[in-house]
């Protein structure tokens, strides 16, 4: 007799898993023009931070044309948005120079330099790399 009662006990559990019928949605009030979200105003671009160090004179603050005169034509010239990256290569090192427009717009100037060995890409002294590339 127990086996006949077991299916009867499962009926309420199975019924709870079934469809519950239509769900009432909450009516929305019409949107008035004064309630339409407005995109935030674009903030002015802050001035880039200039990273200078001894031995980087003539590089930091230079324009792309100045860098090409100093090191020769760049191996890479990558433009990404307002930023620009120039890469110069020599036997001793690879120099990446990052240029950003100054406050108020205008032509981009070098604000940061990164240097690594040509052989294994380990970081090297940036000023030493600049000096080595100037000599070539």
Domain ranges of the chain: 64-135
pLDDT at 62: 92
CA distance 32 to 28: 12
pLDDT bucket at 82, cuts 50 / 70 / 90: confident
Q: What is the pLDDT of residues 8-50, one digit of tens each?
A: 555 665 655 555 555 555 666 665 655 556 666 655 555 555 5
- pTM, two decimals, is 0.61
Q: What is the mean pLDDT of residues 94-101?
A: 94
Q: Which residues pair with 112 in a beta bridge?
A: 98
19, burial (CB in 10 Å: exposed 0-12, middle 13-18, buried 19+): exposed
Residue 91 burial (CB count, 10 A): 9
The sign one gets for the Cα dihedral 112, 118, 124, 128 is: negative
């Amino acid at each position: 007799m127990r086996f006949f009662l077991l299916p009867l006990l499962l009926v309420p559990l199975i019924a709870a898993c079934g469809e519950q019928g239509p769900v009432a949605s909450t009516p929305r009030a019409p949107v008035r023009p004064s309630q339409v979200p407005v995109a935030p105003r674009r903030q002015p671009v802050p001035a880039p931070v200039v990273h200078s160090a001894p031995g980087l004179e003539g590089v930091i603050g230079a324009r792309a044309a100045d860098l090409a005169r100093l090191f020769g034509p760049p191996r890479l010239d990558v433009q990404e948005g307002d930023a620009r990256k120039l890469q110069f290569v020599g036997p001793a090192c690879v120099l990446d120079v990052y240029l950003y427009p100054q406050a108020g717009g205008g032509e981009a100037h070098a604000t940061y330099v990164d240097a690594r060995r040509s052989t294994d890409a380990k970081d090297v002294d940036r000023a030493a790399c600049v000096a080595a590339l100037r000599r070539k």
